[in-house]
Amino acid sequence: MRRGRIFFYLALIVLLGMIAVFVIYQRYLSPSAQPQPQVAAPTQVVDVVNVLVVSQSIPRGTVVSRDAISMVPIQRELFIQGMFTNLNEVEGRLAKFDLDPGIPLTSNMLVESAVDLSGAGSIAALSIPRGMVAVAIPLNRLSNSYPLKSGDHVNVIVTLKFIDLDTDFQTILPNQLATVIAPGAQIEGGDTYLTARVGDGGFYGTATMGKTEVIAGLGQSVYVVPSEAQRPRLVSQNLLQDAVVLNVDHYSSVLSGKDEEEEQETQQPPQPQETQPPPPPAPDFLSLIVSPQDAVTLNYLISSGAQITLVLRSADDNSRVQTESVTLQYLLSQYNIPVPVKLPYGTQPRVDTINVPNIQSQPEQQPAP
């Protein structure tokens, strides 16, 4: 009995030893359990090409030098026709327009000489969208010109004065009457010339054409002539909305070919700090980006002497508002302005014109030394 139990324990120990040997072999001694050496993935070779890039600001017309450009590698897939890869291809050429740092140089950014630069057009033309034009408008104080800058959005208000004309003479009414002296000679066709005297007045002079009126209560007819020339009738309307300002300048800078900042630097020599340089001239014209049809309309209005006023819009407002033309009748009805009745009394002194004081900025008083 005891001998059988011993054999059982020995068999169990042998079985456990065989299991341990099998596990150790599978985990540590088997060839598949040995760590395999990692094979490095092949490095992908990127095909690059060196192109010229602007590293410093290059103003329009400036000669391109080696200090203002640098070489930057880019993938060959990003290389486009017109880029430069050799410094000798761009050195000594002129910038067609202002070049900012960080942009790749291309052939359409450079010209060979100043003659080619003069034919390249102005920088302002680059700001005009395709299908639009720029039209110049003369400015005055009512045009709200001083706060306007390039890139502002404005509305254009036009004010017209209408008068009555004689359709045949195309002259302002009323006509003038002349005294007929005698009929002239009869010509072929039955027409007869009339001889008329035109003078300074009197019996054989001219008179203003009037109209016949009957005095109420008397039944007497009188011939009434106007006491003054015809008064024009005003009307104002919003002509254009959201037009873009291309440039605000004065005529002297256009003749010199310099912008306002360059002219201020070159026009005045260095002065002592005690004396202040004269202020720059006020702008006298403005360029608006409009459609070709609107440009023709503005040209007609300027030629006809219409009053043009520019009003500044908000920077983030591109809305369109339907407005009504403003006349005297519109003011009376829309704003409930009554026409004053004729009273048997009035104020003293008599007021014929409304005087608005001219407010001018007073110079600052310097402290006494």
pLDDT tens, 198-254? 555 544 456 788 888 888 888 888 888 888 889 999 999 999 999 999 988 765 555
* Identity of the residue numbered 364: E
Sign of torsion over alpha carbons 167, 170, 173, 174: negative
Considering 17-26, 55-64, 128-137, 293-302, the range whose residues carry the highest mean pLDDT is 293-302
pLDDT above 50: residue 130: yes
Q: Model confidence over 171-205: pLDDT tens digits?
A: 999 988 877 666 555 555 555 565 666 555 544 45
What pLDDT shows up at residue 251?
58
Report how far residue 18's alpha carbon sits from residue 25's, in angstroms, rounded to the nearest whole number: 11
Instruction: Indicate the DSSP class of residue 15.
Output: H
Report how far residue 223's alpha carbon sits from residue 210's, in angstroms, rounded to the nearest whole number: 7
3-state helix, strand, coil in the chain (%, to 5): 25, 25, 50
Beta strands in the chain (DSSP E): 48-54, 69-75, 94-95, 110-111, 133-138, 153-162, 176-177, 179-186, 192-197, 207-208, 211-215, 220-224, 233-249, 285-290, 307-312
286 neighbors 252 (Cβ within 8 angstroms):
no
pLDDT above 90: residue 342: yes
180: β partners:
196
Question: Residue 143's pLDDT band (boundaries 50, 70, 90)?
Answer: low
Sign of torsion over alpha carbons 77, 80, 83, 85: positive
Q: Dig out the tokens for 72 from the structure.
A: 């930057």
Fold exhibited by the domain 48-121: Type Iii Antifreeze Protein Isoform Hplc 12 (3.90.1210)
* Identity of the residue numbered 272: P
In which residue ranges of the chain is CATH 3.90.1210.10 found? 48-121
More confident residue, 351 or 265: 351
Name the strand (E) or helix (H) holding 9: helix 2-24
111: β partners:
94
Q: How many residues does the chain have?
A: 369
Average pLDDT over residues 83-102: 86
Selection from 150, 161, 139, 151 nearest residue 310 by Cα: 139
Antiparallel, parallel or unpaired: β 176-177 and 307-312: unpaired
pLDDT above 50: residue 263: no
Report how far residue 258's alpha carbon sits from residue 261's, in angstroms, rounded to the nearest whole number: 8
Considering 1-10, 181-190, 318-327, the range whose residues carry the highest mean pLDDT is 318-327
b/e burial code for range 307-337 (CB count within 10 A of at least 16 → b) = ebbbeebeeeeeeeeeeeebeeeeeeeeeee
CA–CA distances in Å: residue 225 to residues 40, 197, 208: 111, 20, 6
- Average pLDDT over all residues of the chain: 79
Selection from 278, 293, 180 nearest residue 240 by Cα: 293
pLDDT above 80: residue 128: yes
Considering 71-85, 163-177, 194-208, the range whose residues carry the highest mean pLDDT is 163-177
Report how far residue 26's alpha carbon sits from residue 241's, in angstroms, rounded to the nearest whole number: 87
pLDDT above 60: residue 44: yes
Considering 35-39, 111-115, 137-141, the range whose residues carry the highest mean pLDDT is 137-141
Q: What is the pTM of this model?
A: 0.60
Report how far residue 230's alpha carbon sits from residue 174's, in angstroms, rounded to the nearest whole number: 8
pLDDT above 90: residue 78: no
126 neighbors 97 (Cβ within 8 angstroms):
yes
What pLDDT shows up at residue 184?
58
Q: In whole angstroms, what separates CA 261 from the centre of its chain?
A: 19
231: β partners:
none
pLDDT above 90: residue 274: no
Report how far residue 312's alpha carbon sits from residue 244's, in angstroms, rounded to the nearest whole number: 10
